[in-house]
């Protein structure tokens, strides 16, 4: 019997640790299961230069080739990991046998309000936080502003990591979706506040022959809060790959 392998690309801030509970449940259904920790996260240090999606794709390709799995391999990309996975599969059509996109950050609207606010914060934040009144409440003020912008990821990053974040959120990969040839499952939470369901539905329509499953009342972290349902859906999908 051929082996079935699962490779996971975590979202921004994700690591082997954040996928531990998922692996403990789903891992029994695969011969091999591997989380590729992306540079800047988990135990993998940030690159010395500001990376974009292309650099992350190259890194992931190298890591997958090093695994040298036999049998069939499924790639699961969550959020930022889904953005990378889409770019990888659009050019390396034979690197894996199937794709799962969960809350994938593939579509990045050019004029998204959140991005405009984020860019404004990046440009004027330093001046704002040095105002006499604001400076006294620096930590609280930053938390409030970042909550309004909706970007804890930006707040929690600095240096090269922050520059990478600013670069990847501008990179819309929707034009690559039609180039994906492997069987694909699009997983989405109906109440995903980070990447709304409307984007998941668009991704589903743009990938030829893709299947879609919507987790009722699910959020962005389906691998954390909806493990059993996700396990059943993945098992059904993999059984037909």
Quick: pLDDT tens for 20-58: 999 999 999 999 999 999 999 999 999 999 999 999 999
Residue 17 belongs to domain spanning: 4-108+172-238
**DSSP conformation class of 46:** P
Based on the fold, state whether residues 132 and 225 are members of the same structural domain: no
Based on the fold, state whether residues 140 and 184 are members of the same structural domain: no
End-of-domain residue from the set 165, 182, 201:
165
Task: Write out the two tokens for 65.
Answer: 């080739």
- pLDDT given at position 1: 53
Asked if the model's pLDDT at residue 155 lies above 80, the reply is no
What is the C-alpha radius of gyration for the chain, rounded to an integer number of angstroms? 18
Angle between helix axes 80-91 and 53-67 (nearest 10 degrees) is: 70
Helices (H) and strands (E) in the chain, counts: 11, 6
Based on the fold, state whether residues 93 and 207 are members of the same structural domain: yes
Based on the fold, state whether residues 28 and 121 are members of the same structural domain: no
Confidence of residue 134 (pLDDT cuts 50, 70, 90): very low
What is the reported pTM?
Answer: 0.84
Residues with Cβ < 8 Å from 129, sequence gap 6 or more? 135, 138, 141, 142
CA distance 194 to 224: 15
Based on the fold, state whether residues 100 and 137 are members of the same structural domain: no
Asked if the model's pLDDT at residue 205 lies above 50, the reply is yes
Confidence of residue 185 (pLDDT cuts 50, 70, 90): very high
Number of domains in the chain: 2
Based on the fold, state whether residues 203 and 218 are members of the same structural domain: yes
Confidence of residue 2 (pLDDT cuts 50, 70, 90): confident
Based on the fold, state whether residues 86 and 134 are members of the same structural domain: no
Please list the residues that pair with 98 across neighbouring strands: 74
CA angle 85, 192, 118 (to 5 degrees): 80
Please list the residues that pair with 212 across neighbouring strands: 186
């Amino acid at each position: 019997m051929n082996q079935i392998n699962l490779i996971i690309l975590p979202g921004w801030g994700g690591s082997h640790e954040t996928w531990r509970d998922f692996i403990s449940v789903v891992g029994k259904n695969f011969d091999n299961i591997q989380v590729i920790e992306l540079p800047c996260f988990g135990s993998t240090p940030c690159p010395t230069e500001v990376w974009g999606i292309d650099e992350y794709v190259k890194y992931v390709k190298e890591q997958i080739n090093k695994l040298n799995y036999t049998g069939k391999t499924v790639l699961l990309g969550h959020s930022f990991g889904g953005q990378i996975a889409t770019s990888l599969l659009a050019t390396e059509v034979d690197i894996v046998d199937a794709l799962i996109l969960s809350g994938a950050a593939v579509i990045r609207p050019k004029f998204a309000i959140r991005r405009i606010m984020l860019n404004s914060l990046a440009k004027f934040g330093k001046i704002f936080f040095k105002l006499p009144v604001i400076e006294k409440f620096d930590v609280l003020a930053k938390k409030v502003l970042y909550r309004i912008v909706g970007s804890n990821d930006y707040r929690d990053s600095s240096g090269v990591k922050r520059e990478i974040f600013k670069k990847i959120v501008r990179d819309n990969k929707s034009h690559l979706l039609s180039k994906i040839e492997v069987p694909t499952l699009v997983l989405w939470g109906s109440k995903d506040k980070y990447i709304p369901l409307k984007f998941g539905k668009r991704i589903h329509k743009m990938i030829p022959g893709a299947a879609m499953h919507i987790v009722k009342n699910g959020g962005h972290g389906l691998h954390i809060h909806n493990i059993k349902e996700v396990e059943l859906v993945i098992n059904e999908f993999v059984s037909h790959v």
